Structure 1
Amino acid sequence: MKKIIVGSGYKALAALMLIAFLQRGVAQQIASGSEFSKPNIIFFLTDDQRWDALGAAGNTIIQTPHLDRLARAGILFQNAYVTTSICCVSRASLLTGQYEAYHNIHDFSTDLTPEALSQTYPVLLKNAGYRIGSIGKFGVGKNPPHSIYDFWVDTEEGGKGQPDYIITGDDGNLIHDTDTLNNAIQRFLDEYGNNDKPFCLSVSFKAPHEQDGHPPEYIIQQAYKDYYKDITIPEPVTADPKYWQQLPDFFRTDTNFARARWRGLFGTPALFQENVKNYYRLITGVDDAVGNTMHKLRELGLDKNTIIIFMGDNGMFLGEHGMEGKWYGYEESIRVPLLIYDPNTPDKIRQYKASQIALNIDIAPTILAMAGVQAPKQMQGINLIDLVQNKLPERNEFFYQHYFLGGPRIPKVEGVVTKEFKYMNYIEHNYEELYDVKHDPHETVNLVDNPKYKSQLSALRKKYRNMQKIYGVSAGKRAKARTPSQL
């Protein structure tokens, strides 16, 4: 069993130099007195929550009343995506506002460099006079930057991998990860809620990620064991075996991670029912933790000046196409829930269902803008509030990339996603997929060889080549050869 780690532990010389730099920046901000009028910000992140696992997104089975309430009072993004669907890369993109090829996190062991860390949203907010806290799984590298934070609760035990769902708490008793985080949020708000500085708290739940194992499993809080028990979960359209069978030979192997995990979690109708319900139960547990947070904010008189952002770090196959997991470019994998609740949001964007494409790389610049802090030029995302207020042009497409491991376990893929079409290229095999997602939202028919879509395929291939030059790995290497001021 793992114990919670709170506080220090990042002793590298480069990190100490960074801390000294931060302290100078904070002192300058305090001297100016500019931090006192700034909003508090809480960023909730779930692990593997797909876009439609939320009541506000139209799911009539899952119970997420607190998040639904925030979505109704704020902005619900209906087309939110990640640029790489795996937690280590996506979390680095959330922190830095950059595509994978630019932040250079391609695996679970690489840390952000001190220079890259200094340009993440928590550090930039600390420079601007914010108290910053991190609760839960940091998720990037082996040496999380404990000591730059004012408040730190690490259920990952110092970057050693996925946290366990059941750990030993401070009192020596066993406790579920969601309850651990819920308790830590309450402690943080008690300590920093009535401080003379604004705060930014980043909360990362393990839920609803499976507990790794053979087979993997979803370990729920016992309080939720009877939720959904009398409901039959409908099987997805593409759970039909024919959709796995129509995939190419290099993909359709037992060594494909998504297929291997499918067998243990969704390989029979009984497993499907049990594990989708457990997935939902974990999300309902998170929803209650969010509700407890909102109650605490009201109790402390902070609810009128605290912005809430909620997002998933990537999506999740729940049996679609005969798979469990993420990684590939299908909607279930790359599309995530995203809502922003600001109690001081202008009326014209309250209760707003935003159709614009939003990305994980937009979170950092959006948080900074809300705090009145200038985003560095290296950030490739945009301020989503400006987007929904039509102060920025709508994004028509984005580049998708996933390079971790490679075939046969996780074949590498790149592509272009638009609102109407999706083009994916499995780069190790030059195998292409083209889907008309507007008319075929379940991505059942690959249109690459359909002559009726020749013009669309040609246009997307061209976009892909152009975007690959900008956002692909070689582009990132060229960018890192330049100085930050040149980016």
Structure 2
Amino acid sequence: MRYFYFAVALSILFIGCREKETARPNILFIFADDLSYEAVHFAGNTEVITPNLDKLAEQGVTFTHTYNMGGWNGAVCVASRAMLNTGRYLWRAKSSQANYENMKNERQFWSLQLQAAGYDTYMTGKWHVSISADSLFQHVRDIRPGMPGSVPEAYNRPLSPNDTTWLPWHTKYGGYWQGGKHWTEVVGDNAIDFLNQAKTSDHPFFMYLAFNAPHDPRQSPKKYVEMYPVDEIAIPENFKELYAYKDSIGCGEGLRDERLAPFPRTSYSIQTHRQEYYAIITHLDDQIGRILAYLKETGQDKNTYILFSADHGLAVGHHGLVGKQNMFDHSMRVPLIVAGPDIPENEKRDMQVYLQDIMATTFDLAGIDKPEYVEFNSLMPLISEEKTESFYPEIYGAYINFQRMIRTDRYKLIVYPRVPKILLFDLENDPLETVDLSNQSEFIEIKMQLISRLKDQQKMMEDPLDLHAYFPDLF
């Protein structure tokens, strides 16, 4: 009889171990807004202070060339988040908006797929997808709009060092301070509450933590702004007072983002905007540090994969631009980190990927099949080095009908149909995208190859813009 009880106990232990071994991992997704790949310390910007993101990068794999495809309106974040949550490429993501209710019923959203696989799903912060977050997530708190409310004082400034009407720590202007506590800190609080809920559950968790920061109005407590003396802020090497094509590409004075700084741009105004940009990023980094510290404190880190990225980048003075509605890398390229159990530490992958590959990556980590409608790809074969080349020989980009782009590892072609103008950059020798090679005879063949590749991408993407109408001899 004693052997019988021993055998039963051993059997229970074996079953328990097997269940533990086969349990799905937790997934913690942290999303920033308007965070360029160059605006974090671990990517090489020694001005900005991001110790917690630096540490996360050391603990995992960083993708150095991660892109958003662009947008169909001025709020580029709408398209970015629609692609992320539906898995569809840009123009199909746009057309799918009219079918969101049917898609919800068929579980064709990121969170619903994971919920069907047994995950408890949590969401807080910026949503900006045209279906309610609480219809897609089981636990929802403090859903925010596309940006905090702004005021006239936040625009066309500063006109001089004496212009102190707007200061980022003034709570009287609302914005991130609306409700009494800075929105970034609210997301941090909610994340810790969610982790407390999750540790009592028998199910793995999927947390979607979406910060509004560092989107304008770039407000943060005064101590963060004081970390960055304005006269010590570097001005981008490719700074211009005005971008020559700004009006024809939809980035003129009629675009809200571009109105934040005065026209023409001044060195001081760009230093001030970059000071406030870095300050709110460091404030964001502190809140991310709180979340990751609590994850470790509760022991939940041992079975949690962390994925960090942003919806797109931001110019903040590059090329005479301030917003994100352009095809330059500073506005299309974002940081991306994957960390967690069995992920290599402190490694980089330099191949081109899309940030929306994150969705398929989480399906891979959760051990569930990627649905057929998901067009993006898991990053796991690249992380494990099972695959050493990108899924995307070229990266496609679009902004309304004003701009198109195709990018390889070496070259980038940008098309401005309303000018009309085609730009060509050698990214290896000109990473700041300042020398247009499009009319140089030795680059004609490369230009024509990229035009052909852009045409192929337009067809595959179901791009509605007919470039032949603007360039009849080329498209």
Partner residue, 1:205: 211
| Structure 2 residue 346 is matched with structure 1 residue 360 | no
One-letter amino acid of the structure 2 residue matched with residue 103 of structure 1: A
| Per-residue deviation, 1:344 | 2.7
- Post-superposition Cα deviations, 1:235-259, rounded to whole Å, max 9, x if no partner, equal 1122133x724x3773498435278
Q: 2:393 aligned to 380, 396, 404, which one?
A: 396
| Structure 2 residue 341 is matched with structure 1 residue 343 | yes
Report the Cα distance in structure 2 between the residues aligned to 1:219 and 1:259, rounded to whole angstroms.
15
Q: 1:88 aligned to 78, 81, 94, which one?
A: 78
| Per-residue deviation, 1:391 | 2.9
Q: 1:115 to 1:35 in 2, by over 3 A?
A: farther
| Structure 2 residue 195 is matched with structure 1 residue 196 | no
One-letter amino acid of the structure 2 residue matched with residue 151 of structure 1: H
SS in 2 for 1:209: coil
Q: 1:377 aligned to 369, 372, 383, which one?
A: 372
Q: 1:101 aligned to 80, 91, 94, which one?
A: 91
SS in 2 for 1:453: helix
One-letter amino acid of the structure 1 residue matched with residue 115 of structure 2: K
| Per-residue deviation, 1:328 | 1.3
Partner residue, 1:29: none
Q: 1:438 aligned to 428, 431, 454, which one?
A: 428
Partner residue, 2:11: none
Report the Cα distance in structure 2 between the residues aligned to 1:111 and 1:272, rounded to whole angstroms.
42
| Per-residue deviation, 1:163 | 3.3
Q: 1:344 to 1:248 in 2, by over 3 A?
A: closer
1:35-74 pair list within 5 angstroms: 37-74=23-60
Report the Cα distance in structure 1 between the residues aligned to 2:199 and 2:223, rounded to whole angstroms.
29
Report the Cα distance in structure 1 between the residues aligned to 2:398 and 2:250, rounded to whole angstroms.
20
Partner residue, 2:271: 273
- Post-superposition Cα deviations, 1:122-160, rounded to whole Å, max 9, x if no partner, equal 11000000000111011112x42313322112342xx5x
| Structure 2 residue 134 is matched with structure 1 residue 137 | no
Q: 1:77 aligned to 63, 68, 86, which one?
A: 63
Q: CA RMSD in A?
A: 2.6
Q: Which consecutive residues of structure 1, in runs of 5 or more, have no partner in the other structure? A: 1-32, 212-217, 407-411, 476-487
CA contact (8 A) 2:103 2:109 kept: no
One-letter amino acid of the structure 2 residue matched with residue 186 of structure 1: I
TM-score, normalising length: structure 1: 0.79
One-letter amino acid of the structure 1 residue matched with residue 83 of structure 2: S
CA contact (8 A) 1:308 1:341 kept: yes
Q: 1:296 to 1:370 in 2, by over 3 A?
A: same
Q: 1:289 aligned to 284, 287, 290, which one?
A: 287
Q: 1:427 to 1:266 in 2, by over 3 A?
A: closer
CA contact (8 A) 1:44 1:309 kept: yes
| Per-residue deviation, 1:316 | 0.2
Report the Cα distance in structure 1 between the residues aligned to 2:264 and 2:301, rounded to whole angstroms.
41
SS in 2 for 1:104: helix
Report the Cα distance in structure 2 between the residues aligned to 1:131 and 1:414, rounded to whole angstroms.
39
One-letter amino acid of the structure 2 residue matched with residue 384 of structure 1: L
| Per-residue deviation, 1:194 | 3.1
| Structure 2 residue 294 is matched with structure 1 residue 300 | no
| Per-residue deviation, 1:474 | 4.8
One-letter amino acid of the structure 2 residue matched with residue 354 of structure 1: R
- Post-superposition Cα deviations, 1:271-314, rounded to whole Å, max 9, x if no partner, equal 22222111111111111111111111122111111111110100
Partner residue, 2:138: 150
Q: 1:56 to 1:42 in 2, by over 3 A?
A: same
| Structure 2 residue 231 is matched with structure 1 residue 221 | no
CA contact (8 A) 1:133 1:202 kept: yes
One-letter amino acid of the structure 2 residue matched with residue 472 of structure 1: E
One-letter amino acid of the structure 2 residue matched with residue 376 of structure 1: P
Q: 1:179 to 1:461 in 2, by over 3 A?
A: same
Report the Cα distance in structure 1 between the residues aligned to 2:256 and 2:21, rounded to whole angstroms.
47
One-letter amino acid of the structure 1 residue matched with residue 334 of structure 2: V
- Post-superposition Cα deviations, 1:381-409, rounded to whole Å, max 9, x if no partner, equal 11111123333442321221221xx5xxx
Report the Cα distance in structure 1 between the residues aligned to 2:251 and 2:32, rounded to whole angstroms.
29
One-letter amino acid of the structure 1 residue matched with residue 133 of structure 2: P
Report the Cα distance in structure 2 between the residues aligned to 1:74 and 1:95, rounded to whole angstroms.
23
Report the Cα distance in structure 2 between the residues aligned to 1:259 and 1:137, rounded to whole angstroms.
18
Q: Which moved more, 1:266-275 or 1:186-195?
A: 266-275
Report the Cα distance in structure 2 between the residues aligned to 1:231 and 1:41, rounded to whole angstroms.
41
SS in 2 for 1:166: helix
1:403-418 pair list within 5 angstroms: 403=400, 412-418=402-408
CA contact (8 A) 2:230 2:275 kept: no
One-letter amino acid of the structure 1 residue matched with residue 108 of structure 2: Q
Partner residue, 1:421: 411
The structure with the larger Rg is 2
SS in 2 for 1:468: helix
Q: 1:55 to 1:371 in 2, by over 3 A?
A: same
CA contact (8 A) 1:48 1:315 kept: yes
CA contact (8 A) 1:88 1:105 kept: no
Q: 2:460 aligned to 447, 462, 470, which one?
A: 470
SS in 2 for 1:461: helix
Report the Cα distance in structure 1 between the residues aligned to 2:107 and 2:41, rounded to whole angstroms.
37
SS in 2 for 1:238: coil
Report the Cα distance in structure 2 between the residues aligned to 1:57 and 1:249, rounded to whole angstroms.
32
| Per-residue deviation, 1:105 | 5.8
